[in-house]
Amino acid sequence: MDHKQFKVIALASLVMAASAAKADNIVETPDFWLESGKRNIKAAEQLKPNNTFAKNVILFVGDGMGISTITAARIFEGQSKPNNRGGEENSLSFEQLPYLALSKTYSANQQTPDSAPTMSAIITGVKTNDGELSVSAKLPREEKNADVVNANKVKTLLEQAEEKGLSTGVASTARVTHATPGACYAHTSERDWESDAQLPADANVKDIARQLVDFNIGNGLEVALGGGRSMFLPATVADPEDTDKTGGRKDGLDLTKQWLNKYPKSAYVYNKAGFDAIDAKKTEHLLGLFERSHMEYEHDRLSDAGGEPSLTEMTSKAIDILSKNKKGYFLMVEAGRIDHAHHAGNAYRALSEAVELSNAVRKALEKTNAKDTLIIVTADHSHTFTIAGYPQRGNPILGLVKQPGETNFAKDKNGLPYTTLGYANGPGYRGPNVRPDLSSTDTAHPDFLQEAAIPLGSETHGAEDVAIFAGGPQAHLFHGVQEESYIYQVMAKALKLKPGQ
Amino acid sequence: MLKIMLWGAVLLLSACAQQPGKPLQIQALEQPPALAAEFETIVETDGADQQRYQWRFWRTSKRVETHNLQDNSGEIWTKSADGKITYERVFHQQQQVIEYTPGDLNAIGAVPDWSAIATLLNQSMIAGLVEDSREQVLGRPASHYQSNNAGIALEVTWLDREQLPALIKRNDHGHTIATRVVGIYPLAESPWPYQRSTNYRYTDFADIGDKESDPFIQSIQHKIKGGHSHSD
């Protein structure tokens, strides 16, 4: 079954459900469940593993998108749709992909990992230590000797794809030098060494931004889109958007100019107008750096002075450029700010970022064919985000818990209402005194911070498994509970690459 | 320190329309006089001197910086041409800065009020104040204002030309915070240069969550703006 078939089935179900709900609002009869179950069984029976090799692989990573985030985002989006049945019945685009597995995210040295070793595992097939990108776990963190780092490099799938003549790209709402995109093309003992300004004085390793521009495997990356402009511009040059600020590099290098000098038919853009003006047919290497640091949250994007493309728009443009290569392509797309919003304790922004990831996946499904394109959607790790209480069906996901049949909010032991969404730790802690009375608080406001049990300046990652959704060639290999590094194995097999070589 | 002034001293004052005297009116908000000042803040409970801070304040129309001399840290607020505000928490001893973009501030429910940042007084404080006398502070003309609501007494001495308080004294049932200016200069004549920060290490607030093993980040977690909802 290809992507389009799934979309048709999903759309048909949605239309039917919506129409029925509009007609009498009591569609969920026993027959409804039995009939919808039958349809889903039939769809499952029609599933046929696609054992062919993939021409293209698109890997979507929702940074910090644990399963509770997916569930809440599904409801968040569902409740915004007309004629919804509460929102819980909604499916994000990638939840309609046919194959699913769970991923064990621990790193070589930590039970709860960060994005560096997790993305390294996904893109190299090898688990490493926290803070390190695409190197062996034998390498100590912050190793400054380039010879030692080089001896411990682990080849990435993006590098292998370039060696094979495929086009490659990364797109992220975080800095393109951040851990998740960085692990695709760079090897370093310290994820924070994004520009030379962060390197210790006695280090002779290259910073991550420089590794991106100096990348010399195949014909280099075709697409690099995201934030992180300050990592590429010298400290002596004013930023083109935030003109009162400068680049961050101390070595005087303007890596955007190096990109343009290195590649024929290349382009560098830093705002939405420049991005929109790019003709994919005429552009072979596109560098887009839309913020000095991370890009705006999707919720705030339209108010950005310089203008920024959405993750969906970046995905679409990247596919347009990469798909010109008849040999195929590898593209990694990261929704990098789900993680940041969770760290801030802000569920609204985390969920709206996850919905935008769903939009980007939908666009990729529209522009590709499941016969030759493997699409994977996963997370690198989870967060301490919870969906709790016993809210009634259709209760606003960002709201206070109201149980079925009740007119008043559910109360805690002190007689105070509480929200469905919360965090085990983070900035949303309201203690040490009694919890606030949220009765008249707009808990659905985009700037509201969900309550946290333990006070921390920044909410932490969570260690439970994350989901892997997949469709296309070899997608059926995603089953059961797997090590996170298994994702690499499936991608390598799909692209007919020898793992680790 | 400034955080104590701006966020900790928010008063719930009712309107005082029936009281005589002029209300405090902040003028020239778009172009307040560029200046540098030094303040002393004393925190007392039941008359006992408990804590004393010296801190400095630099202001232009687009930038406000403070420097707490006790712990050698500071804050920098910058307003862009489109009115968006960024915030930096500066740790001079460690030569480190935590940088908050407007999006970061929104995400933690912090809604900066430029008027409050530039004048040290927020709207709820100003709303109840009425003038009761005129005086001179450091040789400069000033107006004295007072308010009292539900046992919370607020006293402000306002430097008319400088558009800055010379005194903010708040007494809440025996707990007193008094901030008093001890020196003030036009910015160009300031004896206190801006604190150098060009060589400092900058960290995005959004990245703090991924720096769980960074000793500096661990050491300042309790000092940084983490956030509370805008509405509770």
pLDDT band of A24, cuts 50, 70, 90: very low
Q: Which amino acid is at B166?
A: A
- Cβ(A385)–Cβ(A68) below 8 Å: yes
Q: Is the pLDDT of residue A240 over 50?
A: yes
- Cβ(B230)–Cβ(A448) below 8 Å: yes
CB atoms A447 and B210 under 8 Å = no
Beta strands in B173-220 (DSSP E): 175-186, 201-204
CB atoms A457 and B104 under 8 Å = no
B contacts of A442 (beta carbons < 8 Å) = 231
Q: Residues B86-95: pLDDT tens digits?
A: 999 999 999 9
- Cβ(A221)–Cβ(A171) below 8 Å: no
- Cβ(A382)–Cβ(A67) below 8 Å: yes
Beta strands in A105-211 (DSSP E): 167-175
Distance (Å, whole) CA B168 – CA B158: 9
Omega within 30 of 0 (cis) for the link into A432: yes
Nearest-CA distance A205 → chain B (Å): 19
Distance (Å, whole) CA B167 – CA B178: 7
CB atoms A294 and B206 under 8 Å = yes
pLDDT (average), residues A450-473: 96
Q: Please list the pLDDT of chain B residue by residue as tens digits (232 residues).
A: 444 333 333 322 222 233 457 777 777 666 789 999 999 999 988 767 688 899 999 999 999 999 999 999 999 999 988 888 999 999 999 999 999 999 999 999 888 899 999 999 988 888 888 989 999 999 999 999 998 887 789 999 999 899 999 999 998 888 899 999 999 999 999 999 876 667 888 999 999 988 888 899 888 877 776 654 333 3
CB atoms A448 and B204 under 8 Å = no
What's the pTM value of the predicted model, to 2 decimals?
0.90
B contacts of A430 (beta carbons < 8 Å) = 228, 232
B contacts of A338 (beta carbons < 8 Å) = none
- Cβ(A461)–Cβ(A383) below 8 Å: yes
Q: Residues A317-369: pLDDT tens digits?
A: 999 999 999 999 999 999 999 999 999 999 999 999 999 999 999 999 999 99
CA distances, A292 to each of A115, A172, A190, A209, B8 (Å): 21, 14, 20, 13, 32
Nearest-CA distance B55 → chain A (Å): 25
CA A477 to chain centre: 21
Q: Residue A428: closest CA among chain B residues belongs to which residue?
A: B228
| Between residues A123 and A432, the one the model is more confident about | A123
Nearest to B103 among A300, A427, A438 (CB): A300
CA distances, B38 to each of A189, A333, A444, B41, B59 (Å): 45, 50, 42, 10, 12
Q: Which amino acid is at A321?
A: I
CB atoms A339 and B209 under 8 Å = yes
CA distances, A444 to each of A101, A301, A447, B103, B108 (Å): 32, 19, 8, 17, 14
DSSP string covering A438-475 = -TTS-TTSTTPPPPEEEE-SSPPEE-S-EEEEEESTTG
- Cβ(B82)–Cβ(B73) below 8 Å: no
Q: Residues A374-385: pLDDT tens digits?
A: 999 999 999 999
Q: Residue B223: closest CA among chain A residues belongs to which residue?
A: A457
CB atoms A427 and B108 under 8 Å = yes
Q: Residues A209-220: pLDDT tens digits?
A: 999 999 999 999
Nearest to A114 among B103, B106, B210 (CB): B210
* Least confident interval from A36-40, A115-119, A302-306, B52-56: A302-306
Best residue in B221, B222, B225, B232 for a mutation probing chain A (most A CBs within 10 Å):
B232
3-state helix/strand/coil string of B5-68: HHHHCCCCCCCCCCCCCCECCCCCCCCCCCEEEEEEEEEEECCEEEEEEEEEEEECCCEEEEEE
Residue A208, token pair as written in the block = 């991550």
pLDDT band of A18, cuts 50, 70, 90: very low
- Residue B20: its pLDDT value, please? 55
Q: Residues B39-90: pLDDT tens digits?
A: 999 998 876 768 889 999 999 999 999 999 999 999 999 998 888 899 999 9
Nearest to B101 among A293, A342, A461 (CB): A293
Backbone phi, psi, residue B184, to 5°: -150, 135
What is the DSSP pairing of strand B48-59 with strand B63-68? Answer: antiparallel
- Residue B225: its pLDDT value, please? 64
Q: Measured between alpha carbons, how far apart are the two ends of chain A, in Å? A: 32
Backbone phi, psi, residue A145, to 5°: -85, 120
Beta-carbon count within 10 A of A43 CB? 17
Backbone phi, psi, residue A335, to 5°: -90, 90
Q: Residue A142: closest CA among chain B residues belongs to which residue?
A: B214
CB atoms B226 and A339 under 8 Å = no
pLDDT (average), residues A11-40: 67
Nearest-CA distance A430 → chain B (Å): 8
Nearest to A457 among B210, B221, B229 (CB): B221
Q: Which amino acid is at A396?
A: P
Backbone phi, psi, residue A446, to 5°: -60, -20
User: Mean pLDDT across chain A, nearest whole number?
Assistant: 94
- Cβ(A491)–Cβ(A119) below 8 Å: no
A contacts of B213 (beta carbons < 8 Å) = 130-131
Distance (Å, whole) CA A362 – CA A358: 6
- Cβ(A456)–Cβ(B218) below 8 Å: no
CB atoms B103 and A345 under 8 Å = no
What single-letter DSSP state applies at residue A278?
A: -
Q: Residue A116: closest CA among chain B residues belongs to which residue?
A: B210
A166: Cα within 13 Å, side-chain hemisphere:
23
B contacts of A337 (beta carbons < 8 Å) = 206
Which region, left, alpha or beta, applies to residue B164 given φ > 0 means left and ψ of -120 to 50 means alpha?
beta
* Closest of A484, A476, A475 to residue A56, by C-alpha: A475
Distance (Å, whole) CA A240 – CA A257: 14
- Mark out chain B residues that contact chain A at CB-CB < 8 A: 62, 78, 80-82, 84, 99, 101-104, 106-109, 111, 198, 201-202, 204-206, 208-213, 221-222, 224, 226-232
Q: Residues A108-144: pLDDT tens digits?
A: 999 999 999 999 999 999 999 999 999 999 999 999 9
Q: Is the pLDDT of residue A1 over 80?
A: no
Nearest-CA distance A271 → chain B (Å): 16
What single-letter DSSP state applies at residue A202?
A: T
Q: Is the pLDDT of residue A223 over 70?
A: yes
- Model ipTM? 0.85
- Tell me how far apart the 2 most distant CA atoms of chain A are, in Å: 72
B contacts of A448 (beta carbons < 8 Å) = 109, 229-231
CB atoms B230 and A445 under 8 Å = yes
Distance (Å, whole) CA B126 – CA B163: 13
Task: Provide the annotated active-site residues of A.
Answer: 115
Q: Residues A158-183: pLDDT tens digits?
A: 999 999 999 999 999 999 999 999 99
Q: Which residues pair with B86 in a beta bridge?
A: B78
Q: Is the pLDDT of residue A4 over 90?
A: no
CB atoms B208 and A339 under 8 Å = no
Helix (H) or strand (E) holding A380: none
